[in-house]
Amino acid sequence: MDRSTEARDTARPPAPALRVALVSGSDAAARSQVSRMIAGVPAEDAPTSDITDETEDSGEFALVLAERVLAAAHAGATGRTVIELDAEADVMEVGFVLETELEGRRNEGPPAELHDLVTVARVRDVHRWLLSAAPAPAVDFVTAESLASQLEFATVVVLADAADVSPEQLRSTVGLVQRLNPDAAVVTSVATARQPTGWPGGRGCARRIGRRMGWTRALAEPALPAASWNGVDVLVFRDPRPFHPDRLFDAVRHRLVPGQVGRIARSRGLVQLATRPDHHGSWRSAGDTVSLDPTGIGSWDPDAPVGQEMVFFGEHLDREEIIAALHACLLTDDELLAGPTIWRRYGDPFPAWPLHHDH
C-alpha cells in the first residue's frame, strides 16, 4: 500500500452508528406516545420491547436486547431506533448492561450505541409518591423507587401532564428533577418531545449519568448550593461513626417523617451499621419507603467512605432536626469503645444481607 492510499484510508469517516433511545415510565399510554414522537412513526408502529417476553431479569433482557440491536446494525440499520421499556424494567440495569455490551463489541462490525435515556413521568405521580406530605395511599416500594430511579437515570425527562397541573406542582417537580439529575433536559410538553439537537444524549450516556447523579455530585462537590432550588432543598450528612441499627430503624419510622423534618422526597447514600461493620450498605429512600441493601464495598476498601455519607432531597427540610435525628442514631463514645464484637450483639431490625464470601 502506498502512502497516498494509506492516508485516504486513515481519513475515511467512521461508519454511521445505530443509535438507541430507551424510553421508560410507568404510564404506558404516555410512554408510547413519547416513543412514537421520538421515532417519528404512526401510532400503530410504536416501538416496544416487552421484558416479560423472554426474561423477567433486566440484566438478561439487556443482553438479549444488545444482540437484537447489533444484528440490526450488522444488517445495515443506521440512524435512531427507539426501544420502549415496560414499567417493570430496571432502566439503570438495562442501560448499563446494554451500553457495556454495545461498547465491548464495537469493533465487530457496524457500530451501535446507547444514545438517549428518556423518562416519561407525570407530575401528579411525582407528587403522589415523592413530594406529598400526606402518606401515599399504599406503601409501594417498587412504584416509588422505580419512579425516583427513572428520574435520576435519564438524559431527558418528559413531564406528560405538565399542562394539566398547578404552577406550584410543576415548579416543585421540575425542581426535584433538577436536584436529582442536574444534567437532564426537562421537557414539559409531549407534543414537543422530538429529538432536538440540544438533548444531552450521546455515546457513553449511561456511564456519564451514573457519575453525575445529583446525590453523587452533592457528595463530591462541597460547594454545590444547598439553598432551595424551585422549592427543593438538599442536605448532606457525613459522620465516621457507625449507626446503631435499632435507633436508625426507630428514627426512620418516627423522626425522619414529614411532620418532624419536612418532606424527604428522596435520599441516597452509603451507610455502615455497627452490627455489619465489614461492609457498607446502599441507602435509598423514595417518598415513604426506605431500603438498605448490601454493596460490594468492604470497610477495608481504600475507596470506601468512613462511616456515613448520605444525601437528602425534599421540600421545607428542617436541616437541624434531620442532622439531630441522625446524630442520635450514631454510636456513643462508650459504644464505640466497646468494639465490633459487642456491636454485633445489638438489635438489628433491618433485613439480613446475603453472606459475603471474600477470597
Domain CATH number, residue 331: 3.30.1220.10
Percent of the chain at pLDDT exceeding 70: 84
Let me know the angle formed at the C-alpha of 195 by 194 and 200, rounded to the nearest 5 degrees. Answer: 135
pLDDT tens-digit map of 123-135: 999 999 999 877 6
| Predicted pLDDT of residue 301 | 84
State the pLDDT at residue 109: 85
Q: Which three cell numbers stand for residue 332?
A: 456513643
Residue 225's pLDDT is: 59
Indicate if 29 and 99 belong to the same structural domain.
yes
Specify the range with the lowest mean pLDDT, choosing from 58-62, 227-231, 281-285, 327-331. Answer: 227-231
Cell, residue 9:
484510508
288 and 171 both lie in a single domain: no
pLDDT score of 196 more than 70: no
Quick one: pLDDT at residue 300? 82
On whether both 116 and 37 belong to a single domain, the answer is yes
DSSP at 49: B
Q: What angle do CA 233, 235, 240 make, to 5 degrees?
A: 175
Lowest mean pLDDT among 64-68, 75-79, 245-249: 75-79
Tens of pLDDT, residues 110-127: 899 999 999 999 999 999
Residue 52, pLDDT > 50, answer no
Q: What is the pLDDT of residue 91?
A: 94
The alpha-carbon radius of gyration of the chain (Å, integer) is 23
Residues forming beta bridges with residue 285, ordered by sequence position:
267, 290
Say if 274 falls within a structural domain. yes
The yes-or-no verdict on residue 323 having pLDDT over 60 is: yes
Output the pLDDT for position 5.
45
What is the extent of the structural domain holding 301?
214-343
Q: How confident is the model at residue 356 (pLDDT cuts 50, 70, 90)?
A: low
Judge if 73 and 190 occupy the same domain: yes
Which CATH number fits the domain that encloses residue 67? 3.40.50
pLDDT averaged over every residue in the chain: 87
Q: Which three cell numbers stand for residue 150?
A: 427513572
**Which residues are within 8 A (CB) of 291 and not within 5 positions of it... i.e. 6 or more apart?**
141, 145, 282, 283, 284, 285
**Same domain (yes/no): 302, 231:** yes
What grid cell was written down for 166? 398547578
**Helices and strands (DSSP H and E) totals, the chain:** 14, 10
Say yes or no: 148 and 283 in one domain: no
Listed residue (348, 355, 354) closest to 243, CA to CA = 348
136-165 average pLDDT score: 88
CA distance 189 to 137: 28
Same structural domain, 253 and 318: yes
Global pTM?
A: 0.88
Residue 56 has pLDDT above 90, yes or no: no
Neighbouring residues of 182: CB distance < 8 A, sequence distance ≥ 6? 212, 214, 217
Count Cβ atoms below 10 Å from residue 259 Cβ, excluding itself: 9
CA distances from 119 to 26, 101, 148, 157, 342 (A): 9, 22, 11, 5, 46
Assess if residue 357 is contained within a domain.
no
Grid look-up 435512531 returns 80
